Amino acid sequence: MILFIVEGSKTEPRVYETIKRLYFRDEEDIICIFGSNIYGLYNRLKKYNADFDDIGNVANIVDVIREMDPNNAEVLKNIKLSSDIDQVFLFFDYDFQHAYHVQEQHPECSLEEILKEDDTRLKELLDFFNEETDMGKLYINYPMIESLKYTKQLPDVDFHTYRTTLEECRGQFKKVAEEFSDYKAYKGILWDNAPAEIDEIRRNWELLKQQNVMKANYICTLSYSMPTSKEDVSQQQVFAHQINTYDKNKSIAILNSFPLFLYDYLK
């Protein structure tokens, strides 16, 4: 059994249904919606007295998810522990703009200080959720789920050059992504019960997988090509290079984690 934990209730379930139809038809799986951003996940785990240096003291992720939403409680009613599930995958956004929300509450803090603290928390989460058969494996969208459609006609030869700024993520990126995309409202990317489109969607997902994996390799190695090893484009490697290379200028490379998940899982 596979447990998919996603951040939002609108786009992410559609992504899940699409990749399930394309790649996981025969798998027994469950989707749960966390309903808060990745910093909400961090705080919720801390509420459960999670110690990220001591795996033995961590909250059971199933308990955390069950508590967040009555629908999750119903879906998970026959599951007591994470160990009852074969694999757990978590998908959350980088949420670049979170720094502005924190600064509104703590104006004495600079954006640089807040970003550094946010990145420290994300590193803890990535180091902790690094194995799908244990506590779970965390995947990060940069800057958010809308990065999935931030592309011109596939394959997009310029995809590796696309990035966004902290300021643009402040309430604008969703609109910018929609205006930029050749796949308005995810048409041709996400399945909407139109059987005639499934072949086009399957082709597009193979191209999305290729160009996101190649871009991850570009972020980590400066080579826009398929990586020689999965470890070269691990979530920890991508994150480290994102903040070291791009975050200095308050900008990050646009990258979606669902194609990277497929690369990890299927290859």
Q: Got the DSSP string for the chain?
A: -EEEEES-SSHHHHHHHHHHHHH-TTS-EEEEE--S-HHHHHHHHHHTT-BTTBGGGPPPHHHHHHHH-HHHHHHTTT--SGGGSSEEEEEEE--TTHHHHHHHH-TTS-HHHHHHHHHHHHHHHHHHSEETTTTEEEEEEBS-GGGGG--SSSS-TTGGG-EEETTTTTTTHHHHHHHH-SSGGGTTTS--S-GGGHHHHHHHHHHHHHHHHHHHHHHHHS--S--SSGGGG-HHHHHHHIIIIIGGGTEEE-B-HHHHHHHHHH-
pTM of the prediction? 0.93
Which is more confident, 231 or 244?
231
- Maximum average pLDDT range among 20-29, 46-55, 66-75, 180-189: 180-189
Q: Residue 50: what pLDDT?
A: 56
pLDDT at residue 51 tops 90: no
Q: Residue 158: what pLDDT?
A: 98
Domain range summary for the chain, segments of one domain joined by +: 2-266
116-131 pLDDT per residue, tens: 999 999 999 999 899 9
What percent of the chain has pLDDT above 90?
A: 71
151-170 pLDDT per residue, tens: 999 999 999 999 999 999 99
pLDDT at residue 183 tops 90: yes
Mean residue pLDDT of the chain comes to 90
62-97 pLDDT per residue, tens: 888 888 888 888 888 888 776 788 999 999 999 999
